[in-house]
C-alpha cells in the first residue's frame, strides 16, 4: 500500500477534490454552483478548456477579451464551497466571484433581475469553524464596484444589499414540503424585516474565507424566485446567460484596474 499525508493529501501536486495543480488556475476565478454553468461561461469566452471534473467540481480556464480567468463549480451549500475555495486559494486564486441563482425576499425584485451582494448573514455553517459568528462576511469593494458599473453601463435591472447564506434549502429557507410541524418564526418574513435582499447558500463562505486569506471576493446572482410574491421562474436560461456575460465584463474591469499591480 502507498500512503501520503492525510493532513495535506496532495498526490503529485494535485488537489484531492479539484484534481488540478498549481499553474492550472488563474488569479481570477468565477464560482457557479452548478457544474453545467461552467459550460455557459465557456460558450462566452474567446477560448476555454476543461481541466478537471470530479464530483460536483468542474474546473476550466480560458480567456475573455484577452483576460485570463478560471471557472470552478462549487456544488450546493457551504461544505462543498469551502472545499473549492480553500483549494483554489492554495493554487493561487486572488479574486473569487460567486455566480448563481437566488431567491429574493423583498417586494419589487423581479425574477430575472440581478442582485449584487455587498455582504452576507452567516448561516452557511462551514465558516463557523474559522471565525466567531460576529465576524462579518463582506464583499470586496473593488469587485462590487466593477459589477455595478457593468450593470449601469448595460442598463440592467439590478439590486444591491445583504444576502443571507443558509446551509439548508428546505427547512432553513422556510420550505416545509413534508408538512413538518414547526415552532419557528416565519423565516421569510423575518429576513424581509431585516431588509435582506435575497437568500442563497454560498456567498458568506466565499466572503469569509477570502477575507481571512487576503483575497478579493464578490457575488452576483440572478433572481430565480421571489419568496415574498411566491413566484418561481420556470425558464431562467436567458437570465443565467445575462448574469454570466455581466460577470465576465466585470472581470475585464477588475483586471484593468489591477493592471501593473500585484493582485
Question: What is the pLDDT confidence band of residue 183, given thresholds at 50, 70 and 90?
Answer: low
Contact residues for 24 (Cβ-Cβ < 8 A; gap 6+): 51, 52, 59, 61, 70, 91
* pTM of the entire predicted model: 0.95
Find, among 219, 197, 243, 214, the residue nearest to 74 by Cα.
219
User: Beta partners for 165?
Assistant: 122, 200
CA distance 219 to 161: 11
Q: Average pLDDT in the 210-216 region? A: 98
The pLDDT tens digits for 110-159 are 999 999 999 999 999 999 999 999 999 999 999 999 999 999 999 999 99
What radius of gyration, in Å, describes the C-alpha atoms of the chain? 18
Q: Average pLDDT in the 30-44 region? A: 96
Whether 259 has a pLDDT exceeding 80, the answer reads no
Find, among 94, 97, 91, 92, the residue nearest to 71 by Cα.
97
Q: What is the pLDDT of residue 12?
A: 86
Contact residues for 43 (Cβ-Cβ < 8 A; gap 6+): none
Q: What is the CATH number of domain 28-257?
A: 3.40.50.1580
Question: What is the pLDDT confidence band of residue 261, given thresholds at 50, 70 and 90?
Answer: low
Amino acid at each position: 500500500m502507498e500512503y501520503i499525508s492525510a493532513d495535506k493529501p496532495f498526490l503529485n501536486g494535485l488537489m484531492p477534490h479539484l484534481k488540478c495543480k498549481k499553474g492550472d488556475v488563474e488569479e481570477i476565478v468565477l464560482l457557479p454552483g452548478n457544474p453545467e454553468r461552467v459550460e455557459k461561461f465557456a460558450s462566452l469566452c474567446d477560448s476555454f478548456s476543461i481541466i478537471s471534473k470530479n464530483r460536483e467540481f468542474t474546473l476550466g480556464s480560458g480567456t475573455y477579451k484577452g483576460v485570463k480567468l478560471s471557472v470552478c463549480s462549487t456544488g450546493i451549500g457551504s461544505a462543498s464551497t469551502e472545499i473549492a475555495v480553500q483549494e483554489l486559494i492554495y493554487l493561487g486564486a486572488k479574486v473569487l466571484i460567486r455566480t448563481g441563482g437566488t431567491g429574493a425576499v423583498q417586494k419589487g425584485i423581479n425574477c430575472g433581475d440581478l442582485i449584487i451582494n455587498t455582504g452576507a448573514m452567516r448561516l452557511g455553517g462551514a465558516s463557523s469553524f474559522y471565525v466567531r459568528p460576529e465576524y462579518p462576511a463582506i464583499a470586496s469593494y473593488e469587485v462590487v464596484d466593477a459589477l455595478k458599473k457593468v450593470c449601469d453601463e448595460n442598463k440592467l435591472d439590478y439590486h444591491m444589499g445583504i444576502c443571507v447564506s443558509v446551509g439548508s434549502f428546505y427547512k432553513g429557507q422556510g420550505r416545509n414540503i413534508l408538512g413538518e410541524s414547526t415552532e419557528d418564526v416565519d423565516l421569510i418574513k423575518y429576513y424581509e424585516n431585516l431588509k435582506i435582499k435575497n437568500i442563497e447558500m454560498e456567498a458568506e463562505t466565499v466572503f469569509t474565507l477570502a477575507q481571512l486569506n487576503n483575497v478579493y471576493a464578490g457575488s452576483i446572482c440572478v433572481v430565480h424566485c421571489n419568496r415574498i410574491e411566491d413566484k418561481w421562474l420556470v425558464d431562467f436560461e436567458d437570465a443565467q446567460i445575462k448574469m454570466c456575460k455581466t460577470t465576465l465584463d466585470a472581470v475585464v474591469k477588475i483586471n484593468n484596474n489591477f493592471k501593473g499591480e500585484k493582485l
